[in-house]
Structure 1
């Protein structure tokens, strides 16, 4: 057999073996790796290269080595799932770097991190003062997670005692100029609705690169031609304006009538509608 054919066959075998081993080991092999997983990935990749090119060696021995490495890695992962002690020994524990705005110098030295590196990681999380941090922890993966002190955290609806309705995931209903019927059905919509929305915006289906529908039923489109500007959907703004007009009309009715009971009824309805507008305004202006 010519050498180039043998190399091609060995490479195909190595690719298939590498794919199967990676599939068995799971998604952790392509996410944040532990030290052992990092070594395993490098070694298995090196073995695959040897199987492909070292035609003087027996290719099946390389496969045996890859299977052994993969089995050991899988065994360690299963052990980590069952044993907290094993997880701590193999991956190590998370380490506190900042506590109550104070940098833990001993822990910083233990993790071999310089002050510059710590400040760089804080800046990546939009934190520019260590004193603003309640906790900063370096995980076993090497990531640094930061919790700001309460006074420096962004205000959320929970801080204001507001209940927020669950947000649905936006659905891509148009891709590469083609209508996606399944996401439309998930949103409770149909092709007729989509065609009407495109007509409102003066856009043809085939000119749309990506179209998404948010949880409020508004369609946002990105066209192939970036020079063409598409109007932003105004459904929420129109609804808010309609509510304000209704409130103004009811208040006018209250002022224009002389009947005491009718005046009280209109005034009550107006107050109730003002409260409704106040409640939904943050959602309709987002």
Structure 2
């Protein structure tokens, strides 16, 4: 067999094997790696590179080596799920750099971190003064996570006493000019609704690069032609405007009515409508 053919066969075979090994080891293998995962990735890559280019090696040995380096990490990951001691040994533990607003210099020395390194990591977390940090920890993956002091944390709706409306993840209902039935079903919608909404925008589905529906049922689209302007969703502003018009109409009916009982009814319902408007306005203005 010619050498180039053997290299081609080995490359394709080991590529397929490496794909399935990585897939079975899980998505964690592709994220920031801990020590053991880092070593595993290097060894597996070296095994594949060696047996693809060196035709004097036995191909079966490559498969055996890959199997060993699959079952060992897979087995340790499984054991680590059950044992924190094993997890701490293979994955490592976090190291606290700042606690209660004070820098722990001994921990910095232990991890061979300089002051400049710490300040750089703080800047990566949008913190420019160490005095503004309540807690900072070096994770086993090498990432530094930072908790600002309470007075330096962003204000949330909970802090100001608001109760936001529940919100679900947006559903992508159109992609590359084609409707996606499963996301439509997840949003309790159908293709008839989608066609109606696109007709309102005077857009054909073939021209839609991406279309998404938010938790309020509003459709936003991005077109292939960036020169075409698509109107923004208007369902919520229109609903708010309709409620305000209804409230104004009730007030006019109350003023125009000569019957006191009827006047009282219109005034009472006008007040109820105004209360409803006050409650829903924060959710319908954006």
User: What TM-score do the two structures reach when normalised by structure 1?
Assistant: 0.90
Q: What is the CA deviation profile of residues 180-229 of structure 1, one whole-angstrom value per residue up to 9, with x for unaligned ones?
A: 23322222222222222112212122111111111111111101111111
Q: CA deviation at 1:46?
A: 0.7
The 3 A distance-change label for structure 1 pair 4 and 183 is: same
Match of 1:85 in 2: 85
SS at match of 1:231: coil
Match of 1:58 in 2: 58
The 3 A distance-change label for structure 1 pair 115 and 247 is: farther
Q: CA deviation at 1:262?
A: 4.4
**CA contact 1:51–1:63 (8 Å) conserved in 2:** no
User: What TM-score do the two structures reach when normalised by structure 2?
Assistant: 0.90
Where structure 1 has 5 or more consecutive residues not aligned to the other structure, the ranges are none
The 3 A distance-change label for structure 1 pair 157 and 5 is: same
The 3 A distance-change label for structure 1 pair 98 and 276 is: farther
Q: What is the CA deviation profile of residues 34-70 of structure 1, one whole-angstrom value per residue up to 9, with x for unaligned ones?
A: 1111011111111011111111121212222222222
The 3 A distance-change label for structure 1 pair 157 and 276 is: farther
Match of 2:156 in 1: 156
Q: What is the distance in 2 between the residues matched to 1:60 and 1:140?
A: 35
Q: What is the distance in 2 between the residues matched to 1:64 and 1:18?
A: 13
Q: CA deviation at 1:153?
A: 2.4
User: How many residues get paired?
Assistant: 286
**CA contact 2:136–2:146 (8 Å) conserved in 1:** yes
Where structure 2 has 5 or more consecutive residues not aligned to the other structure, the ranges are none
Match of 1:30 in 2: 30
Q: What is the CA deviation profile of residues 228-280 of structure 1, one whole-angstrom value per residue up to 9, with x for unaligned ones?
A: 11111111111112222222333344445565554544444333333322222
Q: What is the distance in 2 between the residues matched to 1:134 and 1:123?
A: 15
Structural mapping, 1:1-286, within 5 Å: 1-257=1-257, 260-286=260-286
Q: What is the distance in 1 between the residues matched to 2:151 and 2:144?
A: 21
